[in-house]
Amino acid sequence: MTTHTALGPALRAWRERIGPAAVGLPTAGNRRVPGLRREELAVLAGISVDYLVQLEQGRAKNPSPQVLAAFAQTLRLNVVDRELLYRLAGAVVPPSGTVPRDVPPGVQRMIDRMSDTSLAVFTASWDLVQSNRLWAELFGSPVDAGTRSSNLIWEHFAAPPAPGASRIERGAAHADAFERMMVSDLRRAADRYPDDRAVTELINGLRESDRRFAELWTRYETLPIGRSNKTVVHPDLGEIVLDCDIMTIERADLHIVLNWAAPSTGAAEKLALLRGRVATAAH
């Protein structure tokens, strides 16, 4: 199936997925389809019903950017679906504003149930959104969200060590892989949100402040996000060897970072001690 013929089924699926109430239309009466009628979507998008039928049947190609923008807004497409819409139409994806920070309710419920895991949520450009108590016990109380010091990439490359906080150490191979991965992911965020001034200022500041970041930035690498390994040097408990996994929530464009210790190890015992501190503080 080519992209142009795939646009029609995608439009139909999105149209059938969104209810009339979501776009301010009445829901009373006998509706034979669960979502929007073709006539309703056509009116809301400012096009003729005949043209929408042609698009859905693959007989019309290359809808204008204005029509695509109207579809994206009317159908309440998220960031991922919006990009897919433009790609299927053979169009350039326009800037989508600023990096999102909102945590969807379903994702928040999942996070709340993982209180026994050291966990933090970051934006696409790696600004801290939230962290749990075990994360704070492991790394030290996080700085105020929204400041540059709360950005994970800035913290790694350019920020001075915070007093009383844990220190993170990586072997040469792990450090190289981690840095290349993070710089690559930041480039992807910059490509998705070219109009976000904060992202541009972050990149410019990193390039001016750190020679290693500046060198990696010029490589234009596109590496996937993956697992990493690190040693956390805790001020009270000493070295804690951890594996780190990154879960990407595409619909919200967020990263969830989780830290684990291998079972039946000294690191696992130290994490258990930190969990005990969290439980004691909660009572």
Q: Give yes or no: residues 32 and 156 share one domain.
A: no
Q: What is the mean pLDDT of residues 24-48?
A: 81
pLDDT of residue 104: 87
Q: Give yes or no: residues 71 and 110 share one domain.
A: no
Q: Give yes or no: residues 143 and 257 share one domain.
A: yes
Residue 188 maps to which CATH number? 3.30.450
Domain count of the fold of the chain = 2
CA 234/CA 250 separation, integer angstroms = 32
Q: Give yes or no: residues 155 and 23 share one domain.
A: no
Q: Give yes or no: residues 74 and 158 share one domain.
A: no
Q: Give yes or no: residues 127 and 157 share one domain.
A: yes
Residue pointed to by tokens 């992807």: 188
Condensed to tens digits (0 to 9), the pLDDT of residues 214-273 reads 999 999 998 988 889 999 999 999 999 999 999 998 778 899 999 999 999 999 999 999
Whether residue 93 is contained in a domain is answered as no
Condensed to tens digits (0 to 9), the pLDDT of residues 128-169 reads 999 999 999 999 876 665 668 889 999 999 998 888 889 999
* Confidence band of 5 (pLDDT split at 50, 70, 90): low
Backbone angles phi, psi at 218, to 5 degrees: -75, -5
Residue 67 maps to which CATH number? 1.10.260.40
Q: Give yes or no: residues 110 and 25 share one domain.
A: no
Name residue 238's beta-bridge partners: 234
pLDDT of residue 1: 44
Q: Give yes or no: residues 248 and 180 share one domain.
A: yes
Structural domain including 266 reads 105-282
Condensed to tens digits (0 to 9), the pLDDT of residues 70-112 reads 898 889 888 788 889 999 999 988 877 789 998 988 899 999 9
Q: Give yes or no: residues 158 and 62 share one domain.
A: no
